[in-house]
């Protein structure tokens, strides 16, 4: 029994140490972001490329997904709204479903699957090829050059893509409501109902559910990628671990924020 309890305790302590390390690195990234010496031209170039790959190149797919989600949500609820005679609730219901939960979750999943795995694979291959040691030998801090711009680029991209997702899904939801005869009312009144439904808690909710999971995904993928030792066969393993840990962190942050904001 004592051996079994010891193993459970050791496993719990190990998990807690990993989570504390992740939180410490996230904090270190945000602290480094406000120092002027963190941003030489080479780091700015890495940051710009990360924004381009994670944010800009994914924007069209995110917009297409938002159109489909807006249509799906309105199709599911337009019958119920028509039955109760409350078609004016279309805007508030979209805020409740998309702004508070669905938008940040879906965007984080897309960014993780598209950019997080690529980040872990890239850094893992760099570690195997010895490029990280070369950067260190040249006087470039791997944390500043490799981690900081990637984590910040991912966090900012998740936030911007979430805003795009929300706006596009609202427009598509309104248009499909018109086509289905849900009578959402004039567009100006629809926009007013949306703004009335958005509270300060919703703004804080979106900020936390985009920046924090985005930064944690970036940190986890960088940590796993840089944990590769010498074999290229480790790269798929660290990529899998990065996905699993990032998904877990996403749901934990989302659940905690929903409880603190709306309960």
The pLDDT-based confidence of 83 (bands split at 50, 70, 90) is low
Compute the distance between CA of residue 65 and CA of residue 110 in angstroms, rounded to an integer: 10
Please give the angle made by the CA atoms of 65, 67 and 178, to the nearest 5 degrees: 165
Please give the angle made by the CA atoms of 225, 210 and 68, to the nearest 5 degrees: 105
Tokens describing residue 185: 């009312």
pLDDT exceeds 80 at position 192: yes
The pLDDT-based confidence of 164 (bands split at 50, 70, 90) is very high
pLDDT exceeds 60 at position 244: yes
Please tell me the predicted confidence (pLDDT) of residue 107: 95
Domain boundaries, the chain: 2-262
182: three-class secondary structure by DSSP: coil
Q: How many CB atoms lie within 10 A of CB 147?
A: 24
- With contact defined as beta carbons under 8 Å apart, do 155 and 216 qualify? no
Please give the angle made by the CA atoms of 41, 43 and 45, to the nearest 5 degrees: 70
| Chain position carrying tokens 């659940």 | 255
pLDDT exceeds 70 at position 9: no
Residue 40: left (phi > 0), alpha (psi -120 to 50), or beta?
beta
Closest by Cα among 257, 39, 262 to 148? 39
| Mean predicted confidence (pLDDT) in 81-92 | 61
Please tell me the predicted confidence (pLDDT) of residue 198: 86
Find how far residue 248's CA is from the centre of its chain.
12
The pLDDT-based confidence of 10 (bands split at 50, 70, 90) is low
| Chain position carrying tokens 């409501």 | 177
88-131 pLDDT per residue, tens:
567 777 888 888 888 999 999 999 998 999 999 999 988 888 88
């Amino acid at each position: 029994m004592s051996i079994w309890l010891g193993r459970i305790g050791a496993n719990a302590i190990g998990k807690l140490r990993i989570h504390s390390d992740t939180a410490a690195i996230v904090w270190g990234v945000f602290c480094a972001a406000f120092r002027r010496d963190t941003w030489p031209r080479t780091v700015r170039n890495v940051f710009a490329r990360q924004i381009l790959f994670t944010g800009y190149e994914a924007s069209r797919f995110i917009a297409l997904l938002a159109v489909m989600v807006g249509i799906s949500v309105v199709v599911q609820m337009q019958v119920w709204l028509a039955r109760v005679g409350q078609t004016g609730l279309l805007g508030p219901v979209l805020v409740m479903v998309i702004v508070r939960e669905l938008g940040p979750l879906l965007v984080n999943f897309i960014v993780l699957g598209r950019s997080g795995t690529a980040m872990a694979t890239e850094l893992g291959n760099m570690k195997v090829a010895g490029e990280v040691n070369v950067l260190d030998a040249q006087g470039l801090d791997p944390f500043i050059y490799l981690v900081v711009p990637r984590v910040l680029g991912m966090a900012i991209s998740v936030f911007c893509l979430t805003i795009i997702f929300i706006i596009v899904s609202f427009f598509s939801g309104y248009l499909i409501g018109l086509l289905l005869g849900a009578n959402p009312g004039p567009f100006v009144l629809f926009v007013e109902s949306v703004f009335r439904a958005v509270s300060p808690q919703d703004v804080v909710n979106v900020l936390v559910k985009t920046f924090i999971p985005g930064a944690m995904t970036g940190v986890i993928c960088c940590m796993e990628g840089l944990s590769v030792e010498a074999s290229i066969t480790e790269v798929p393993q660290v990529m899998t671990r990065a996905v699993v840990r990032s998904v877990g962190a996403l749901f934990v942050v989302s659940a905690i924020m929903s409880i603190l904001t709306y309960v």
